[in-house]
Amino acid sequence: MNPRHEELAALLNDDQRRALSTRLALLDRQLTETEALIVGGRFEGAMFKIENRLSPNRTQQILALLQMARAHVARLRDRFELSVQREDLARHLAGHFGILWTILENSRAAKLKGFGDVPDQLSQTLDPEIDALVEIVQQIRSLIAPQ
């Protein structure tokens, strides 16, 4: 361990170290996700599409800045002996799929009444499809759950 890093690390108390670690982890995650979107080129599903309309020159400039920012984050981690935030994939997915379950439950025909009249026929057509999606989400959630 670098003696200079020990001196810098001593400037933070434990709560400050945790707070700074968490904040830099959030920044690092966003930088990484941004880079993945830019490098991946296309990111789309059946109901969304993220399109990169940035010029190749701007794309390269952004990628260079992302790399610089991530280098700063790594330097701060090392200098202040910050802990790397580790997250279990199953817990991460469980949180997301719990939210998706709620979104689906709120997508049933009866829940759309707040946006206007809902014909009876909509419930007969929409709700079975929502039920199928809820079942798929539930199956994923059960596979994610600890054994």
What pLDDT score was predicted for residue 145? 86
Closest CA to 18 of 73, 84, 72: 84
Give me the DSSP letters along 37-98: HHHH--EE-SS-EE-----HHHHHHHHHHHHHHHHHHHHHHHHTTPPPP---HHHHHHHHHH
What pLDDT score was predicted for residue 24? 98
From residue 140, alpha-carbon distances to 8, 44, 133 in Å are 45, 21, 11
pLDDT digits (tens, 9 = 90+) for 42-99: 789 999 999 888 999 999 999 999 999 999 999 999 999 999 999 999 999 999 999 9
**2-16, 95-109, 123-137: lowest mean pLDDT where?**
2-16
Using the predicted structure, report yes or no on whether residue 147 has a pLDDT greater than 90.
Answer: no
pLDDT digits (tens, 9 = 90+) for 87-128: 999 999 999 999 999 999 999 999 999 999 999 899 999 999
Quote the CA–CA distance of 90 and 28 in Å, as a whole number.
Answer: 21
Quote the CA–CA distance of 105 and 98 in Å, as a whole number.
Answer: 11
Quote the CA–CA distance of 144 and 100 in Å, as a whole number.
Answer: 14
What are the tokens at 6?
């020990």
Using the predicted structure, report yes or no on whether residue 1 has a pLDDT greater than 80.
Answer: no
SS3 128: helix
Using the predicted structure, report yes or no on whether residue 16 has a pLDDT greater than 80.
Answer: yes
pLDDT digits (tens, 9 = 90+) for 19-36: 999 999 999 999 999 999
The pTM assigned to this predicted structure is: 0.77
Confidence of residue 141 (pLDDT cuts 50, 70, 90): very high
Per-residue pLDDT, averaged over 126-147, amounts to 94
